[in-house]
Structures are given as C-alpha cells and as structure tokens.
Structure 1
Amino acid sequence: MIEEFRLPDVGEGVAEGELVEWHVEPGDEVVEDQVVAEVETDKALVEVPSPYNGTVAELLAEEGEIVPVGDVIITFEVPGEDEQAGETAEPEPAAEPRPESEAEPEPEPEPASETETDAAADAEEHAPDARVFAPPSVRRLARELGVDLATVDGSGPGGRITEGDVRATAEGAAEASEDEESAPAAVSFGGRSATSGGDAGDGQAVETGDATPAGRSRTLAAPATRKLAEEEGLDIDDVPTDEEREGEAFVTPDHVRAYADAQRAAQEADAAAVSAAGEGAAATETGAGETEASDAEAAASADAAAAPEAAPGASSGDEDERVPYRGVRRAIGEQMQRSKYTAPHVSHHDTAVVDDLVALRAELKPHAEERGVSLTYMPFVMAAVVKALKEFPVLNAMLDEEAEEIVYRKEYHLGVAVATEAGLMVPVVRDVDRKGGVELASELGGLVERARERKITREEMQGSTFTLTNFGAIGGEYATPIINYPEVAILGLGAIEQRPVVENGEVVARHTLPLSLSIDHRVVDGADAGRFTNRVIELLENPRLLLL
C-alpha cells in the first residue's frame, strides 16, 4: 500500500519550509525514524524522519522548493497485512487473477482526474481492475514529457506501460502539434491575445509561450510569492508557468517577476506606438518623406521598449545573481529590523588594557586542555559581564510594553552571537553566574559547534537576557551592534591585539580589547552604560578579581 507523508509543523508559527536536501531516492529501502530530508525554516535546519518501514515510492518536492506545512512531500510503499501474508505465496503470472488473500480494491469506473495525487496513482498499479500500470520512474517521465498515462497503450507484461511507450506517445503528440502550425498565429497585445483571423473565442487561453496557460481557476504558490504578485498588481492565476505540483500549476517568484516585466514592456511598447501614430498624423502635412522618417523613428522606439535587454551599455555576460531571501537569513533580517525600529539605539565605546588577562589565559590554558577543553577569552568576558550585570541590573532587564513595566531579570543567560554559513545565530549559555571558567568554555564550545553544523535546537537559542558578539574574531575594533530584542543591551568585542598605549607620558605596546556597548535608551541611560562598561573593564584588566 502507498502511504503519503506530509511536511509536519516543525516549529511555532512556521507555515512553510525550504526543502534543502533529499537523503533518499525512489526505490530506496527505509526504516522508521531514518532521516529522509532536511528542511530549513525561518528558525533552523530540521531533519525530517521517515514514519514508516518500507520503500520510497516518489519524491514530490524538488530541492530548493518552498513547501507549505501540510503538503505531501514523499510517498512510501509500505507492506500491508494482506501483502505480508501474500509474500509467502507463489508468484502468479501477470495475466492470471490475483490470489483471494489479497484485498480487492474498490473498482475505478472513471479515469484518474488530474487533481489526484501521484501517490494514489501509484497504488492503482497493484489493483486488478486498474487502468494504468506503470512504475514510479515511468510516471515521473510522463509528467516531464506532458503525457497522460491514461492515453498510453502499455506494451509490457500484462499491459504495463514502459518508458518506450511514454516516449513514443510524446513523439506522436509533437508531430501532431507541428501539423497545427499552419493555424493563424496568436498576436499578443499587452498580455492579451487574439488570432490574426479574428477575436479569440470563449475560454481561449492567453498566449504566453510554452508555459501553462494563464487564467487558471486554481494556482499553487508560497505566501511570499502571492504577496509579490499583489505588490506587482497581478492576479496569481494569470501568471504563466510551466511547473506543476500534484497536477496543479505552481508559480514561483521568478515567474511573477518575468510576467510583470513582460507586462511593463508591452505597455511601454503600446504607449510608444500610440505616441508615434499621433506624431505621424501631424507630420502628414509636411510631406511623405518626413512621415516615413517619423514612422521609422517610432518603430525603433517601440523595438527598444519591447526589447530592454538590447539597450546600449547592457552586459550580456555579467548578470546580477538573485538569491532567495528566506529561511534563517529572513528570520535574522526581520529580527534586526524589529529591534532597530523599536528600540532607540545608543552606542558607547571604550577600551580595556588586558595584558594580565592574556597572561592568565596562557597560564590556565594547558590545565583546561588536560580536561579536553579549549580555553578562549570568552569565558573570562562572560564572568566579568555577569558580575557587572549584578551591580547594574538595568542592563539585564527588558521592557514589557504591553504592561508598561520594566522587568529586571533574575537569571543570567548570556547569548553569544556565532557566524555560520546560514547567517548569525545566537546560542544561549544559561546560568552563567553558577558556572566556572572551564565549564563555561566546554558548554559554549559545544553550542558553537552545533550552531555551525546546523544541529542546534530552537530551545538552545531562546531565553537570553544579555548578548555578546565577538566581531573581533574576524578583525576589527569597534562597531555599533544591534540589540537582540527584547533585551536592552548588547556588548561587542573587538580583536585583542597589541596597540599603542600612553603610560606615564610614554607610548608603549599593550594588549587591548576594544568594547562596543549598544543600549535601548528607553530603559538604559548613558550614565548607566558608562558605569557598566567601566566595571567590565576593571574586571578584565584585573582578572584575578573574578576569582573573588
């Protein structure tokens, strides 16, 4: 029996996901809980396990495709009770009736409709009264070539349809279409069409090339695509497409943009033609020679409007690259935008001289390595920040706008921004005030590794009360970091390097750590930001105070 598997709800508020990678192919044997795909949402990269023991029948989504939650993405051929009982029976010839032990499916009086899923069609091939006998690979080929399997005569055993049967039918359809080329050609005017022999008849589709005809009654598209169509002033059902999913037309953002560009080009061409016609009529009085020149100029203008790609200065070899704005990248952007336009940001910059910190870390690093831990400067900074937050609790607060209250947090959960291939992620180290340096280094190392491998969970990136961002790891001194809303402050760390410092009237080289503190000025005053930073600097410049 064929079982469908729908994209599950993989997180709070997630309505769709991008199918990043398939780990199986049709025909592969799978077991329950085996990972079959990876899906990226605006929260994280999620592994999708198989709920069945069986065989992969068909993959119903392409890698890179946006799939709404609840859509069927894969079908499995799962042994049923009757099939398992029949496995011990001797195989029967294709032309012979099936054993009585097999369940008799309901008769199919009508051919399969276009809206039926391929999974249901796959199940038909096991039924004695089914009208279509074809394996999944042949069905996929039929979809690619646009062949209706109900019209194909199978030449295989028992009437089974082969790839050769599908290709022969497709070639016959191509020859038939060539015979129709003598019919009046369709002429397009701004997205609407008519034949050269008269007006288009009722129900005639708009001519848009080889794509699926426009004016559909139902179209599948992701919410972002529908929003783009609305912004362009287009009806999603009018957008031409050559893609299908589950027998229905499927429109992508590229289809919408291409159709919108074609509409604009056609309108510009019409406007240019009308303008040229008026100029031509006025020029008639001045002589036929001038009229011909005006017509030539109008034609050139129309051609230029209809073919913008041929405009002077355009480069045919260097085209802009477009990358979908979705998943984790879109979630980051939306969070940054919300924070920047909600909280009035103010940044405070200062520098700590950390020669003693560099020496202490070098002294303790071998001891940490004996315990299998790589000791960085971050655990020292985290410890200093927590001590300062306890003295200046307003920086460990949040603003409850609904209740109009400032909430002073009693937990000290520090988020640490990590650069990954998918964008910036912020894993959270909880209860920093209760942990020692080696424990902090070990826990932070594990979180960073999982974040970069895209294996971190949503729970491990939630609940922070204050955030650190180490942009110095890739170079640089100062920045203006954006607050991880609804927190009220974030501390940016520059690179620890030797820089010139004036001591007792002389310039000397010292290891320094640049600090950039951004605050939500609705909650934190500049004076509090300065005092907090000074306390952090004091603790980093005298790191043995952290042991008290």
Structure 2
Amino acid sequence: MAIEKIIVPDIGGAEGAEVIEVLVTPGDEVSVDQGLIVLESDKASMEIPATVAGKVIELLAAVGDELAEGAPVAMIERVSEPDTAAASTEPEPAADVPRQAAQEDPLEAAPAAVQVLPDSESTAVESVRDTEAASPAGGAVTTAQAHVTGTKFYAGPAVRKLAREFGIPLEQVHGSGPQGRILKDDLHRYSRRSVQEGGGSGGAGLPQVPEIDFARFGEVETTSRTKLDRLTATNMRRSWLNVPHVTQFDEADITDLEAFRAQLKGEAESRETRLTPLPFLIKASAIALRDNPKLNTSLAGGGEELVWKKYIHIGMAVDTPSGLMVPVIRDADRKSIWQLAAEVMELAAKARERKLVPQDMQGGCFTVSSLGAIGGTGFTPIINTPEVAILGVSKAATKPVWNGVEFEPRKMLPLSLSYDHRVVNGGDGGRFFTRVVALLSDIRQLSL
C-alpha cells in the first residue's frame, strides 16, 4: 500500500495560520475529504481534509503550529480498493468538486468527524429522535445509524469554532442539517435550552460541580432546602446567566439624615412605627427613577422592545427564616416618608410570618437590597429580572471627610448599583446614582 503525504493546500494567501485543533490520531481510518486539522488565520478558520482514504500513519502537525501552503500535515497509508480511493492523484472531475469548494470557501469545507463519548449514549439516542423529526427523510436513517453506533456526527469549522468560543460540547448538540450536520442555529437553540433547563449546582452545557461525600471528612447533617430557597436560587442563576451585570459603587453622606431621624424618634413612637433608613432609600430611589426613566424599564419581545413603565413600584429584599422574599411597595414616588415607613414595617412583618400573597411580590420596577447593620463595605447585588437595576446598601461608618478647610467626621453609607448593560449604559447609571446620593445627602430635596 502506498504512503501519501497530506500537505496544506492553497489557503488563499494566509501565511502562518495556526493549528487550533487536530481531528484525528495515528491509527484512525479516514475517508476522502474528512477533516484532519483545523487552521485559523486572522480572517477565518478552515479545515484541512484528507485527499485520500486510508489509515493515518503519522501526524506531522500539532496544536499551536503555524502552517503555510505546502506544509506537511499527515502521512496516510492509502487503501488499495479503487472505490475507496476516489481522491487519487488523478481524480474524476465530479470527485474533485468538494475539494475545489473547500479551497474557494474555507468555511464551507467538508464536515469534521467527532467521536461520540461513551457516556453520551443516551444523549445520542435522543439526538436521533430530534434529528429524524427535523431532517429530511433521506438523511434520517444515516444520522440514526451514526448516532446509535456511536461513530460520528458532522459540524463545519465555523460551527466548531463558535462552539469552542462558548464552551458548547458538540457531542450533546442535535444537528438539524442534512444528514444530522450541526448548524449555528443548533448551537443557539442548545444555549437557550441550557439556560431554561439548567438548575441546581450546574446545568446542561455548563461544567457540573462534582458531588462530594463530605461525610468522609467528619460528621455532617443533610437537610432539604425550602421551596423558597430553591426558587430564589433558580431566579438568581437565571438572572446571572442572562443579564450582563455592571456594578457601580459610591458613598452617600447621611450625617444630616441620621440627625433628622433621631429628632423624629418620638413622633415615630407616637405613630407606632419605626423610622429606619429604608424609607428614605426607597423614596430617594423612586425620585431618581422618575428623573431617570431608563432604569424604570424592562426588555420585551425577545430583547427587541423596551417597556417604559409609567408607574414606580419598588421591591425591598427581606431576609426571613424561610429565605429571601421581595415584597413590593407600589407608587413609592407618591408616598410620604411616614407612609413608606408604615408600609415597610407591615410588609416586612408579613414576609417573616409567611403571610405575603403573590400580588404583594409582583409588579416591581426596581429593588433595594439593604444589609443594614449586618456589616460589609460593599457587595454586588444580582438584578431581580425582569427589572434592569438594583440598589445594594451596606453598613454606614463614620469617616474623616475633607470639607475644603479641614477633615470632619461624617457618616458615610456605602451603596452599590447593579444594572443590565443591555439597557442601561454607564451614563444612565451614573446620572441615576448621582441623583440618589444627592437626595440622601440633602434630605430637604426629598420633599421637592
């Protein structure tokens, strides 16, 4: 049997294209036009196919090598049968068409064969069912045979490059193209399904957190998480995966606000309420939302539309024994500090007693998450989607502040604003944040 050296063909003048993937190993049987390696230049990625059928004897290129036209790729022991040696030195015109097409358009090169891993057998069977439903009848049987026997499936270099960039395991993707070929649309569908179905410590398409037997290291106790805990975890995970979070930090001088609250302590007792900083935070946020309506919106229509809300309802995160709950104060911009204080106490009590009804936690436009006296100098709150922003409040501390003449002690409140960067840009967030800080630093503005 003859030994054939496979070299890099004309790749459109690209010099020093890098080998980013090796598709075969010595000993593999390959067919004509089956991909051997993938090269990536500054313009595109392209597959270098075998020009003959046979067994790979030696690989002459490795990941990271830079190759140009004529560089050796592999040595292949060519099979002797005429019907399998379709790509000889003098091929038939019809057999030469695929190689010409691959040279003219590298992104449309022959599909690569990817081995199905042993533990993907169940996924492969499900893939057959989906492909049979989505593919032409002519290709369903071939695809099914390929999956069931665990041999190979197909994806072009552009699709495989996209899969690498997003960490998508191709062996888990159901191809909807001819003969089960994986298309870019299949990757998009897989990503959307991964986010929708994912839960717990990991999800489809994401690296799983390994299970550990903690009892090996000492005494443990295992309890079931509450339904509220599980729901909160799912919501937070969905928000973190779907929303590009940006967090800005600032401090508000609340020295005067704290003095004002102290003066009103007696009146608060007569009203049978407590005047905490939270009503002021809610009021300041409501006014800032009114003045910066971009942060009072939500995405709709798959991200193609923006809903501008004509109302301002603000949620407040409440830590309860059962988990985190976020009751909503409606029309916060129209209510006085005393009204907000009374409603904060009422909703917090209902949350701790598990007496909130669904309507109490719906319709929020913005959320305030306050750690109060718990501690910390700052944190990055996760957006309560479909809202586009959330305000995080940490523990106030007395700090020396320069007043232009000397340092004086001022009570400073650390704040953090997280927002959805698909909707809110830095200018929007900065203007909103500056307004909140100004309102808290000069409480006279809250009445204007």
TM-score, scaled relative to structure 2: 0.51
Return the match for 1:544 from 423, 440, 444: 444
Equivalent in the alignment of 1:469: 369
Q: For residues 384-533 of structure 1, what are the structure 2 equivalents within 5 Å?
A: 384-402=284-302, 404-504=304-404, 506-533=406-433
Superimposed CA distance per residue, residues 218-248 of structure 1 (whole angstroms, 9 cap, x where no aligned partner): xxxxxxxxxxxxxxxxxxxxxxxxxxxxxxx
Equivalent in the alignment of 2:262: 362
Change (3 A) 1:449 1:507: same
Q: Secondary structure at the match of 2:432?
A: helix
State the Cα distance separating 1:314 from its structure 2 match.
9.5
Superimposed CA distance per residue, residues 451-486 of structure 1 (whole angstroms, 9 cap, x where no aligned partner): 111121121111111000002331112100000000
Equivalent in the alignment of 2:242: 342
Q: Matches of 2:432 and 2:324 in 1, distance apart?
A: 26
Q: Matches of 2:288 and 2:277 in 1, distance apart?
A: 17
Q: Secondary structure at the match of 2:356?
A: coil
Q: For residues 28-177 of structure 1, what are the structure 2 equivalents within 5 Å?
A: none
Q: Matches of 1:485 and 1:314 in 2, distance apart?
A: 34
Change (3 A) 1:322 1:528: same
Change (3 A) 1:316 1:540: closer
Q: Secondary structure at the match of 2:439?
A: helix
Change (3 A) 1:320 1:389: same
State the Cα distance separating 1:503 from its structure 2 match.
2.6
Q: Matches of 1:448 and 1:315 in 2, distance apart?
A: 38
Return the match for 1:351 from 248, 251, 254: 251
Q: Secondary structure at the match of 2:252?
A: strand
Report the residue type matching 1:547 in the other structure. Answer: S
State the Cα distance separating 1:408 from its structure 2 match.
1.0
Equivalent in the alignment of 2:220: 320
Superimposed CA distance per residue, residues 491-532 of structure 1 (whole angstroms, 9 cap, x where no aligned partner): 011112212323326333210111100000000001111111
Q: Matches of 1:413 and 1:343 in 2, distance apart?
A: 21
Change (3 A) 1:322 1:501: same
Q: Matches of 2:416 and 2:251 in 1, distance apart?
A: 9
Equivalent in the alignment of 1:376: 276
Of the two, which has the highest radius of gyration? Answer: 1
Q: Matches of 2:215 and 2:390 in 1, distance apart?
A: 44
Percentage of pairs with the same residue = 47
Equivalent in the alignment of 2:233: 333
Report the residue type matching 2:297 in the other structure. Answer: A
Change (3 A) 1:371 1:524: same
Q: Matches of 1:408 and 1:528 in 2, distance apart?
A: 15
Q: Matches of 2:214 and 2:260 in 1, distance apart?
A: 60
Superimposed CA distance per residue, residues 176-196 of structure 1 (whole angstroms, 9 cap, x where no aligned partner): xxxxxxxxxxxxxxxxxxxxx
Equivalent in the alignment of 1:296: none
Q: Secondary structure at the match of 1:398?
A: strand
Report the residue type matching 1:377 in the other structure. Answer: P
Q: Matches of 1:330 and 1:399 in 2, distance apart?
A: 25
Change (3 A) 1:506 1:448: same
Q: Secondary structure at the match of 1:372?
A: coil
Report the residue type matching 2:433 in the other structure. Answer: T
Q: Secondary structure at the match of 1:447?
A: helix
Where does the alignment leave 5 or more consecutive residues of structure 2 unmatched? 1-212
Change (3 A) 1:368 1:320: same
Superimposed CA distance per residue, residues 38-77 of structure 1 (whole angstroms, 9 cap, x where no aligned partner): xxxxxxxxxxxxxxxxxxxxxxxxxxxxxxxxxxxxxxxx
Q: Matches of 1:505 and 1:480 in 2, distance apart?
A: 34
Q: Matches of 1:421 and 1:391 in 2, distance apart?
A: 36
Q: Matches of 2:419 and 2:216 in 1, distance apart?
A: 48
Q: Matches of 1:474 and 1:493 in 2, distance apart?
A: 10
Q: Matches of 1:411 and 1:485 in 2, distance apart?
A: 17
Q: Matches of 2:416 and 2:314 in 1, distance apart?
A: 16
TM-score, scaled relative to structure 1: 0.42
Equivalent in the alignment of 1:281: none
Change (3 A) 1:500 1:334: same
Where does the alignment leave 5 or more consecutive residues of structure 1 unmatched? 1-312
Asked if the contact 2:366–2:387 (Cα under 8 Å) also holds between the matched residues in 1, the reply is yes
Equivalent in the alignment of 1:114: none
Q: Matches of 2:364 and 2:219 in 1, distance apart?
A: 42
State the Cα distance separating 1:421 from its structure 2 match.
1.1
State the Cα distance separating 1:371 from its structure 2 match.
1.3
> How many residues are aligned here?
236
Asked if the contact 2:226–2:322 (Cα under 8 Å) also holds between the matched residues in 1, the reply is no
Q: For residues 247-326 of structure 1, what are the structure 2 equivalents within 5 Å?
A: 318-326=218-226
Report the residue type matching 1:443 in the other structure. Answer: E
